[in-house]
Amino acid sequence: MIVSMIARHDVSVRNWGRLAIAAMICGAAVAAFRDAALAQSADLVAINGRVFTAREGAMPAQAFAVRDGRFIAVGSSQAMQAYVGAGTQVLDLAGRFVTPGLADGHFHNEGGGPGVDLSATRSHADLIAAVGAAVARSRPGDLIVSNSDWHEAQLREQRLPTAREIDRVSPLNPVVLVRGGHDYILNSAALARWNISAATPVPDGGAITRGPDGELTGELIDNAKRLVALPAPAAVTTDDVLATQRKVNAYGITSVRIPGSYKGEFFQALDAILAVRRAGALTLRYTVYLPGMGVRDPARIREIIAKSPLKQDEGDEWVRIGGVKLLVDGGFEGGHMSKPFAEPYGKGGTFYGLTVVPTAAYTAVVRTINDLGWRATTHAVGDAAIDEVLDAYEAANVEHPLAGRRWAIEHLFVSRPEQLVRMKRLDLILSVQDHLYLAAPALKAYLGEMRASRVTPVKTYLDAGFLVAGGTDSPVVPFNPFFEFYHFLTRDTITDGVYGAEERVASREELLRMITINYAKLTGEQDLKGSIELRKLADFAVLSDDLLTVEAKKIPAMKALLTYVGGREVWRDPSLGGR
Ligand SMILES: [Zn+2]
């Protein structure tokens, strides 16, 4: 049945038969009729589906027609017959569910990389074995570095390994486990290589973790990571860009927003993406934010903006520059809170997380961006970090109002009710992700059960009337949009059950809008994409199940059967067979 989903219906024979009869009556009239028929015939007509258009209040449609990469009609299967011509491909959806192309509002990269792969480890034994295998392949003294797409919440022990534990398989080779975007874990040889000891001063905006015995555990957080100089990553190639888009297209994803870091050197990677664009080979649309994370100097921000090959909102429907990405606090282990971390992480009620960029410097940077007519979006995990962002945005707002200019905040794990009022006044957009799905037990340990159960209160944000766009923060969390959808719908987590059921978003339509049309509003492209409507880019995906009705627990295993970008098929699930 699935194989029959694509069938070339040769309706054209009938049309041309009619034309032939007309030809006997009047040649000129036939030519006019034929031209009219060609003018309205589609490249692709999809019929017999359940098509979620993302239009507010609209019932699912059955069918649509596409020409020159855009939707030219949406409606009933019957009505689409008018668009079927000689060269039209007819896609019989056989009742399948279609969504506008899915989008990831906070996507760094798809994960993986040249380092040690820890993504499939489930225990310390697995992790130590993976490091041991890498040591066995190396020469004595070689540096061993891991990929970043793993988290201790996936390990049975639900804690990071220590330097001493890694030493057991790597007594001589320095090892740096990169975890997410905020953490390094070093073994003793690596601590020695960079002269990090119990006597090392802790850098401002960073942390060097100690165990109960006062010894360093090997964990370096945020600005303390600067004590370590890892070799520069390999340049991003055009082949790598092609491989990435293949991977994400397979999940129905057609657009991603890159928040200031991708892989490798930022501008070199952007050049590689633009080279694929020039070759006409992109199948994924990008909105890219320039890297302003950690910047404390307005002059540096001016340099970064001057270096960009495109100015803000320049580009086309494939690659656009969205603004500048900033950062004020840490991640899971360093989000800046107004109340201390849970013990023992709270260190006797004294640890509130990290201020990675001091308030005055951050505010100066924000004002500079605003002066230049650009927009910022800022990573802020804790409520104290959100205070810092709001103070700076309000200062900038006095000079040039931010309303209507799509300024945003990223993550917003923890916030307070009065902050919503301030965010509303500035007309901010909220960019949220499903970190809790992966990291629930770690967040419970760091923040305590009450605070963790409210992490990323998406329902609260939607109910307050914000434009909320979804995303994953991949590779910190897997980029699978069905994990994200499932988590926001159920508040279930991978290893620790449901957290904060009161933050469930009951409306599946609303959740789908977060990763379709709301995303397009976040990037200012709502007239171009994000819904299945006339004249919009024909980005859509045919899914394995009906996302609006399927049993919730089946959602994480869902997949895209077909993905189209600009009316072109870019992914076909192997179960469908060839064309
Ligand atoms: Zn991120």
pLDDT in tens, 312-343: 999 999 999 999 999 999 999 999 999 999 99
For 25-34, 80-89, 166-175, which range has the lowest pLDDT when averaged over its residues? 25-34
Residue 4's pLDDT band (cuts 50, 70, 90): very low
Task: Report the chain's terminal Cα–Cα distance, integer Å.
Answer: 14
Tell me, rounded to whole angstroms, the distance of Cα 542 from its chain centroid. Answer: 20
Q: What's residue 467's pLDDT?
A: 98
Q: What's residue 7's pLDDT?
A: 40
For residue 10, is pLDDT > 50?
no
Residue 14's pLDDT band (cuts 50, 70, 90): very low
For residue 29, is pLDDT > 60?
no
Q: What's residue 51's pLDDT?
A: 98
Q: Could you tell me the distance, in angstroms and rounded to a whole number, from the CA of residue 509 to the centre of ligand 1? A: 25
CB atoms within 10 A of CB 384: 20
Q: Could you tell me the distance, in angstroms and rounded to a whole number, from the CA of residue 475 to the centre of ligand 1? A: 8
What average pLDDT does range 471-480 have in this prediction?
A: 96
Tens of pLDDT, residues 37-81? 556 899 999 999 999 999 988 899 999 999 999 999 999 999 999
Q: Which residue has the higher pLDDT, 213 or 501?
A: 501
Q: Could you tell me the distance, in angstroms and rounded to a whole number, from the CA of residue 524 to the centre of ligand 1? A: 20
Q: Could you tell me the distance, in angstroms and rounded to a whole number, from the CA of residue 410 to the centre of ligand 1? A: 8
Q: Could you tell me the distance, in angstroms and rounded to a whole number, from the CA of residue 261 to the centre of ligand 1? A: 8
Q: Could you tell me the distance, in angstroms and rounded to a whole number, from the CA of residue 259 to the centre of ligand 1? A: 6
Q: Could you tell me the distance, in angstroms and rounded to a whole number, from the CA of residue 10 to the centre of ligand 1? A: 49
What average pLDDT does range 127-131 have in this prediction?
A: 98
For residue 168, is pLDDT > 50?
yes
- Residue pair 179/213 in contact (Cβ under 8 Å)? The answer is no
Q: Could you tell me the distance, in angstroms and rounded to a whole number, from the CA of residue 260 to the centre of ligand 1? A: 8
What average pLDDT does range 507-519 have in this prediction?
A: 98
Q: Could you tell me the distance, in angstroms and rounded to a whole number, from the CA of residue 109 to the centre of ligand 1? A: 10
497-511 CB burial, b ≥16 within 10 A, e <16: eebbeebbbeebbbb
Nearest one of 343, 342, 423 to 380, comparing CA atoms: 423
Tokens 């589609």 belong to 42
Q: What's residue 38's pLDDT?
A: 54
- Residue pair 565/101 in contact (Cβ under 8 Å)? The answer is yes
Type and span of the H or E element at 226? none
Q: Could you tell me the distance, in angstroms and rounded to a whole number, from the CA of residue 42 to the centre of ligand 1? A: 40
Q: Could you tell me the distance, in angstroms and rounded to a whole number, from the CA of residue 107 to the centre of ligand 1? A: 7
Q: Could you tell me the distance, in angstroms and rounded to a whole number, from the CA of residue 438 to the centre of ligand 1? A: 15
Q: What's residue 57's pLDDT?
A: 86
For residue 33, is pLDDT > 60?
no
The two tokens of residue 415 are 């916030």
Q: What's residue 56's pLDDT?
A: 87
Q: Could you tell me the distance, in angstroms and rounded to a whole number, from the CA of residue 421 to the centre of ligand 1? A: 25
Mean per-residue pLDDT of the chain: 93
Q: Could you tell me the distance, in angstroms and rounded to a whole number, from the CA of residue 463 to the centre of ligand 1? A: 25
Cα dihedral 333, 334, 340, 343, rounded to 10, equals 20
Residue 11's pLDDT band (cuts 50, 70, 90): very low
What average pLDDT does range 175-195 have in this prediction?
A: 97
Q: Could you tell me the distance, in angstroms and rounded to a whole number, from the CA of residue 77 to the centre of ligand 1? A: 42
The overall longest dimension of the chain from CA atoms, in Å, is 99
For residue 32, is pLDDT > 80?
no
Q: Could you tell me the distance, in angstroms and rounded to a whole number, from the CA of residue 551 to the centre of ligand 1? A: 30
Q: Could you tell me the distance, in angstroms and rounded to a whole number, from the CA of residue 412 to the centre of ligand 1? A: 12
Q: What's residue 233's pLDDT?
A: 87
Q: Could you tell me the distance, in angstroms and rounded to a whole number, from the CA of residue 142 to the centre of ligand 1? A: 30
d(CA 360, CA 338): 18
Q: Write the CB contacts of 54 (distance below 8 Å, at least 6 apart in sequence).
A: 99, 100, 512, 513, 516, 517, 530, 531, 532
Angle, in degrees to the nearest 10, between helices 383-399 and 417-425: 20
150-180 CB burial, b ≥16 within 10 A, e <16: bbbbbbeebebbbbebbbebbeebbbbbbbb
For residue 242, is pLDDT > 50?
yes
Nearest one of 172, 178, 192 to 220, comparing CA atoms: 178
